[in-house]
């Protein structure tokens, strides 16, 4: 049996909401607050928005991230408690996630590269529906999708925007991505597709001058895109820590049964 990992040096980060700031002061008094570059673990205090920011900021550091809920939405967070944090960290279960890499080309030919841990989505910028062409591994799969947009979600992000537009919930360890339309008009009955996480997804914008489209990777937006390429970036592995019985796998399973 492997020895439990030690997390002696903790770096705390907190959102700006009063509850998170109060927790930051309380925990710093008890455990200290190490600089992130010297820490064994980063503990995020807030909601899912702060967790996404923390994952992005530390995605190349190799340090595990443990969240405690002191915000609004806390799907990616553990329950807050100031008691015996190091013991909780040592007992935590680890989930490894890979972000999506988005490469978006705008109508000026400029290329924008961003990562997304939840999803990459395209959406119409005006009152007119977007017209999109979808290719998977450079093979055309849908010559024209007329919709408000379309998204590619990771398993970790499948319970976020993807779920709200009736996309499938994916087990966290599933080697899959969800390709989900946003308010599809044509083909009207298309509900999306499940793709292997090795898929190279290309979405081309048709009539971009008349029907402008934006692309978003988590919180990074690119306006007036003409072409968006998406793939899972296996060069980045983020380790997220969850209390036993409250793992990301368990939360996603509960979500599928409406719990």
Q: Give the tens place of pLDDT for each residue, 126-141.
A: 999 999 999 999 999 9
Q: How far apart are CA 159 and CA 147, in angstroms?
A: 21
Which two tokens mark 138? 């450079």
Q: Do domains 10-98+236-256 and 100-232 have the same CATH topology?
A: no
Residue 102 has pLDDT above 50, yes or no: yes
Summarize pLDDT for 230-257 with one digit per residue, the tens. Answer: 999 999 999 999 998 776 677 677 766 6
Q: How far apart are CA 43 and CA 191, in angstroms?
A: 37
Alpha-carbon distances of 254 from 241, 248, 259, rounded to whole Å: 18, 10, 5
> Which candidate in 8, 40, 48, 84 is catalytic?
48
CB of 33 closer than 8 Å to CB of 13: no
Where do the domains of the chain lie? 10-98+236-256, 100-232
Residue 4 buriedness (CB in 10 A; 0-12 / 13-18 / 19+): exposed
Which two tokens mark 171? 């087990």
Strands 41-46 and 65-69: parallel
Dihedral (Cα; 109, 205, 177, 250), 10-degree rounding: 100
Region 100-232: CATH code = 2.60.200.30
pLDDT band at residue 258 using 50, 70 and 90 as cut-offs: low
Check residue 174 and give its pLDDT.
Answer: 86
Q: Is 50 helix (H, G, I), strand (E, B) or coil?
A: helix
CB of 133 closer than 8 Å to CB of 142: yes
Alpha helix (H) residue ranges in the chain: 18-31, 48-57, 85-91, 161-164, 248-256
Concerning whether 48 is annotated as a catalytic residue, the answer is yes
Q: Is 6 helix (H, G, I), strand (E, B) or coil?
A: coil
For the chain, the maximum distance between any two Cα atoms, rounded to a whole number of angstroms, is 62
Alpha-carbon distances of 71 from 49, 80, 115, 176, rounded to whole Å: 9, 10, 23, 29
Which two tokens mark 183? 């308010």
Taken as a whole, the chain contains a residue count of 259
Check residue 222 and give its pLDDT.
Answer: 98
Region 10-98+236-256: CATH code = 3.40.50.10330
Residue 71 has pLDDT above 90, yes or no: no
pLDDT band at residue 1 using 50, 70 and 90 as cut-offs: very low
The whole-model pTM stands at 0.86
> Which of 8-17, 149-158, 165-174, 190-199 is predicted with the least confidence, judged by mean pLDDT?
165-174
Q: Is the peptide bond before 187 cis (omega within 30 degrees of 0)?
A: yes
Alpha-carbon distances of 217 from 6, 104, 230, rounded to whole Å: 34, 10, 10
- Mean pLDDT rounded to a whole number for the chain: 92
Q: Is 56 helix (H, G, I), strand (E, B) or coil?
A: helix
CB of 227 closer than 8 Å to CB of 51: no
């Amino acid at each position: 049996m492997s020895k439990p990992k030690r997390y002696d040096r903790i770096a705390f980060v907190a959102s700006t909401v009063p509850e998170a700031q109060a927790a930051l002061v309380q925990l710093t008094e008890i455990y200290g607050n190490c600089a992130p570059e010297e820490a064994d673990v980063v503990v995020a205090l807030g909601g899912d928005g702060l967790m996404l920011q923390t994952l992005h900021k530390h995605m190349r550091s190799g340090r595990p991230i443990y969240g405690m809920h002191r915000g609004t939405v806390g799907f990616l967070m553990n329950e807050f408690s100031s008691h015996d944090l190091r013991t909780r960290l040592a007992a935590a279960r680890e989930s490894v996630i890979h972000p999506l890499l988005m490469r978006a080309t705008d109508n000026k030919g400029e290329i924008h590269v961003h990562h997304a841990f939840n999803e990459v989505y395209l959406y119409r910028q005006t009152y007119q529906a977007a017209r999109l062409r979808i290719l998977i591994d450079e093979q055309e799969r849908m010559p024209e999708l007329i919709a408000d947009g379309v998204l590619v979600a990771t398993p970790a992000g499948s319970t976020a925007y993807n779920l709200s537009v009736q996309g499938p919930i994916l087990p966290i360890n599933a080697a899959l991505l969800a390709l989900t339309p946003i308010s599809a008009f044509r083909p009207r009955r298309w509900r999306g597709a499940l793709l292997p996480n090795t898929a190279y997804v290309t979405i081309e914008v048709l009539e971009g001058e008349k029907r402008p489209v934006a692309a978003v990777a988590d919180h990074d937006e690119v306006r007036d895109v003409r072409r968006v390429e998406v793939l899972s970036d296996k060069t980045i592995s983020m380790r997220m820590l969850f209390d036993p019985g409250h793992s990301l796998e368990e939360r996603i399973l509960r979500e599928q049964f409406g719990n």
